[in-house]
Amino acid sequence: MSYMWNKFNIKTFPSETLVYVDGVFQSDISTLAETENISTKYDLPIHIIYVGTLERENTLNINITAENQPVFLTVDIKNKTPAFLNIFIKNAGKNSELRGHIMMQNYSDLVTKIIAEHTAPDTGILLQSKIIGNKDSYSKISGTAIINQGCPHTKSDIRLSGYATDKSAKIRLNPVQRIKSVPDFAEHSAYMMHITAPQEDYLRTAGLSGAEVKSAMIEAFTKDFNLF
């Protein structure tokens, strides 16, 4: 998968892959046929890679029913025109876990809806979603974690965060939990990153220009992923 690293700077590892570029499935660089249902247990983890530039409305459905199957999700997208991104995840696979990094760069209007639903016990969904709002952009992320009745011993972690590169950028983060069973843990958070005056002064005294300070903050924000 050196292609993904060289072209999109996506870290890869030995896995079965489902690759989407600009919202379109890429059979030539995927090891699995396109599917929304992960019903087969593979020897390797499954890595779903969703990258590129989005327009209009885009939807990614992930339905896990295989047991003991690790699944990883990497989303790295940007939009230059108004766009919607919907990510719907259902996990019914006992001892199966999905861990995901979602990174978005918004240069226009971007609305993202994420629904992570546990439909069986002993399932895990852990997602960290970030958005960078650029000048005059509007961003909204809603992240909903659903643990249905009869689904104990689940692991749920939904994190939303945003960073505005300009005062004209508007970002809304909307975390929601619907819990009807006792989980092993159910974390949910939302935060906005801002550069403080002391931080900016420190970076400037280290010799960075205004543009370099901005780049350093964006790099720090994008690289601070810690779910896997």
Quick: pLDDT tens for 199-208: 777 777 777 7
Q: Is a pLDDT exceeding 90 seen at residue 7?
A: no
Q: What is the amino acid identity at position 7? A: K
Buried b (16+ CB within 10 A) or exposed e, 61-86: ebbbbbeebbbbbbbbbbbeeebbbe
| 38 — pLDDT class (breaks 50, 70, 90) | very high
* Cβ proximity of 26 and 49 under 8 Å: no
Q: How buried is 205 (Cβ within 10 angstroms: 0-12 exposed, 13-18 middle, 19+ buried)? A: exposed
2-16, 53-67, 180-194: which is most confident: 53-67
CA angle 131, 99, 87 (to 5 degrees): 55
Q: What is the pLDDT of residue 139?
A: 96
Q: Is a pLDDT exceeding 70 seen at residue 21?
A: yes
Q: How much is the average pLDDT of 170-196?
A: 90
d(CA 172, CA 19): 29
* Cβ proximity of 57 and 45 under 8 Å: no
Q: What is the pLDDT of residue 75?
A: 96
Q: Is a pLDDT exceeding 70 seen at residue 6?
A: no
What percent of the chain lies above the pLDDT cut of 70? 92
